[in-house]
């Protein structure tokens, strides 16, 4: 039998098996959509940004949360997709149905290059090598400032819808599809190999596993998820600024994943919505806003290092036991 202390967060949450019950958390997506549809416009926009960051976090967690490889440059994928789709739409007046797939394709090509160059590097050196790439891309936005907008970015990206509620529906569809794919992927053979890599890559290689191939495919899939959300956000915001390439963007994604519960897929979604809404609520606190926000992060990391999803899952399991139910829903 496996030692419970050595199980991944996903395993401790009861996420084994490939069946329909593992996808139940996706049912929360339409609930969020209803809240945004019938809520005020500020609520709708806040939920839209929450869903976008949640999609980023799902993409990041699917690779880093299960393989243990910290990608400090993950923001390069949504940023690349956003810049390409913005340039094609604003500069060349191409339809979003062309520019968005082109942006995603560009991000995947970047992932191919990044994977080929960095995935054979291990430990802290992998994290450092991935963090350098967005810095190089940031410089390119200034070198080619006339085309990429320099510090101001690219303005005038045409919106797809004029009603933010429709944008929310699309972003939630992207989030729901990303969650379904990620939940399936991490419970497939690829997910098992990623867990083996996290436990010890040399041991996995000694067992005859081609760890590079699984890491490479996982990185590509991860890039598609982030790129899809980034490309669409460019049309909603009607601009792309170089700040999206800053390391702080990736650190925010990592923070959302860590607060929610890394290595669970569902946890990063929960963490993203929680922190995006908290940040919006604290706007009224003006000077104390950042202090309260960061103090909350420190307290959450101190008293719930596995993320907020794990204690919630434990509470639900205790409730099921008290009521005499056999177990809680699979996946928590």
**Concatenated DSSP letters of 63-98:** IIIHH----TTTTHHHHHHHHHHHHHHHTS---HHH
> By the 8 A CB rule, do 9 and 257 touch?
no
Lowest mean pLDDT among 99-108, 284-293, 296-305, 318-327: 318-327
Evaluated on CA atoms 218, 268, 139, 147, the torsion sign reads: positive
- Which residues have C-beta within 8 Å of that of residue 300, sequence separation ≥ 6? 259, 308
pLDDT(6) > 70: no
> By the 8 A CB rule, do 273 and 32 touch?
yes
Tell me the two tokens of residue 128.
């450092």
Q: pTM of this prediction?
A: 0.90
- CA gap 54, 113 in Å, rounded: 25
- CA gap 239, 21 in Å, rounded: 39
Q: Which H or E run contains 240?
A: strand 239-240
Q: Could you read off the pLDDT of 257-315 as tens digits, one per residue? A: 999 999 999 999 999 999 999 988 888 787 777 788 888 888 888 888 888 887 777 77
Residue matched to tokens 């290595």: 263
- CA gap 82, 77 in Å, rounded: 9
Domain 4-322 belongs to what architecture? Answer: Orthogonal Bundle (1.10)
| 310 vs 188 pLDDT, higher one | 188
In the chain, where the domains are located = 4-322
- CA gap 185, 166 in Å, rounded: 29
**Rounded to 5, what percent of the chain is helix, strand, coil?**
75, 0, 20
Q: Using alpha carbons, select from 175, 202, 176, 186 the residue that is nearest to residue 63.
A: 186
For 91, phi and psi rounded to 5 degrees? -85, -40
- CA gap 99, 82 in Å, rounded: 9
- CA gap 330, 79 in Å, rounded: 35
Q: Could you read off the pLDDT of 43-98 as tens digits, one per residue? A: 999 999 999 999 999 999 999 999 999 999 999 999 999 999 999 999 999 999 99
Q: Using alpha carbons, select from 17, 126, 116 the residue that is nearest to residue 70.
A: 126
């Amino acid at each position: 039998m496996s030692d419970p202390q050595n199980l991944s967060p996903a395993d401790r949450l009861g996420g084994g098996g490939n069946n329909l019950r593992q996808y139940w958390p996706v049912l929360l997506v339409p609930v969020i959509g209803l809240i945004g549809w019938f809520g005020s416009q500020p609520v709708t926009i806040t939920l839209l940004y929450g869903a976008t960051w949640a999609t980023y976090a799902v993409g990041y967690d699917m690779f880093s949360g299960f393989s243990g490889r910290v990608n400090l440059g993950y923001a390069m994928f949504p940023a690349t997709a956003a810049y390409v789709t913005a340039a094609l739409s604003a500069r060349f007046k191409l339809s979003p149905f062309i520019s968005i797939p082109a942006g995603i394709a560009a991000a995947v090509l970047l992932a191919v290059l990044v994977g080929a160059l960095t995935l054979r590097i291990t430990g802290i050196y992998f994290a450092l090598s991935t963090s350098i790439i967005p810095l190089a891309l940031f410089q390119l936005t200034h070198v080619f400032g006339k085309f990429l907008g320099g510090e101001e970015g690219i303005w005038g990206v045409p919106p797809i819808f004029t009603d933010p509620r429709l944008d929310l529906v699309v972003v939630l569809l992207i989030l729901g599809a990303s969650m379904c794919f990620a939940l399936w992927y991490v419970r497939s053979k690829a997910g098992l190999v990623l867990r083996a890599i996290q436990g010890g890559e040399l041991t996995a290689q000694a067992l005859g596993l081609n760890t590079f191939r699984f890491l490479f495919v996982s990185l590509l899939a991860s890039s598609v998820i982030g790129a899809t959300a980034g490309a669409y956000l460019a049309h909603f915001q009607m601009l792309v600024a170089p700040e999206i390439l800053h390391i702080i963007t990736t650190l925010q994604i990592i923070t959302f994943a860590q607060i929610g519960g890394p290595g669970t897929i569902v946890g990063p979604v929960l963490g993203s919505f929680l922190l995006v809404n908290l940040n919006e609520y604290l706007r009224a606190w003006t000077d104390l806003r950042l202090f309260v926000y960061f103090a909350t992060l420190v307290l959450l990391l101190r008293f719930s290092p596995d993320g907020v999803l794990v204690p919630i899952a434990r509470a639900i399991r205790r409730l099921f036991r008290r009521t005499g139910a056999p177990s809680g829903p699979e996946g928590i």
